[in-house]
Amino acid sequence: MTDRMPVLYLGHGAPPLADDPVWTRELAAWSGDLPRPKAILVVSAHWEEAPLTLGATRQVPLVYDFWGFPQHYYTVRYDAPGAPELAAKVRALVGTKYPTRDDPERGLDHGAYVPLVEMYPGADVPVLQISMPTLDPRRLYEVGRLLAPLRREGVLIVGSGFLTHNLSCVDFHAGVDAPPPSFMTEFDDWAARALDAGDVDALLDFGHKAPAARLAHPRSEHFAPLFVSLGAAEDTLADHRTPVTGFWYGLSKRSFQFD
């Protein structure tokens, strides 16, 4: 175990991610290079609820928060242990600034379990999911700062979203390797360069600073988990890498690790 766990921001795809041999290999290889976490804390694009809400701390059914897919996607299991001790620490840390509540029946949604199935297929690491209480970038960044001490206790903090996310521009008949729209590549390149430059202010103000921001993200919920990850990264922003790059049906898969 290292002194401080990395922080991740990853693209979680959709249920068909499990059918993509390239992406699943990338996620498996990524997790294989990480220190073994004592627990995982996930912030997913698919759970917005105020105040900040903590999901189930025991095993409950997954949340199949998608529609119109083949039946086998609704039978996926991920029976990771609950994380009540981690939940208590989250309440204590975040509660210094923001109110929290519990939702003991709320299971992991696909933004959490879809990548974890590939990264930790044994489902043997305790997992806790928390909601985004807002989409305001600076408030989410502050939430991440409050959670940062968990890194020294062996907790892997994961922001799960998508670096670009405009489904109205996706043609699922065109294939996984379909060329992305130019605004997707422009936004992807801008985000990578902003992070390389350590320009957190630009990333937090992406709506005004990024090219084609509202085309890449008509709504910001898939970009927003990055702000939590940036906050939790503390002073390690300069020490980051990009384990996953490329596009999936024209959407950017670019993912970050902050060491």
pLDDT tens track for 192-234: 999 999 999 999 999 999 999 999 999 999 999 999 999 999 8
The answer to whether the peptide bond before residue 51 is cis (omega within 30 degrees of 0) is yes
Which CATH class for the 7-164+221-258 domain? alpha beta
Q: From CA 113, how far away is CA 233, in angstroms rounded? A: 22
Domain spans in the chain, listed from the N-terminal domain onward = 7-164+221-258
Q: From CA 70, how far away is CA 9, in angstroms rounded? A: 28
Residue-wise pLDDT for 58-112, tens only, equals 999 999 999 888 999 999 999 999 999 999 999 999 999 999 999 999 999 999 9
Our measurement of the distance from residue 65's CA atom to the centroid of its chain's CA atoms, rounded to an integer in Å, reads 16
Is the CA virtual torsion 20, 25, 30, 36 positive or negative? positive
Percentage of the chain with pLDDT > 90? 88
* 185 residue type, one letter: T
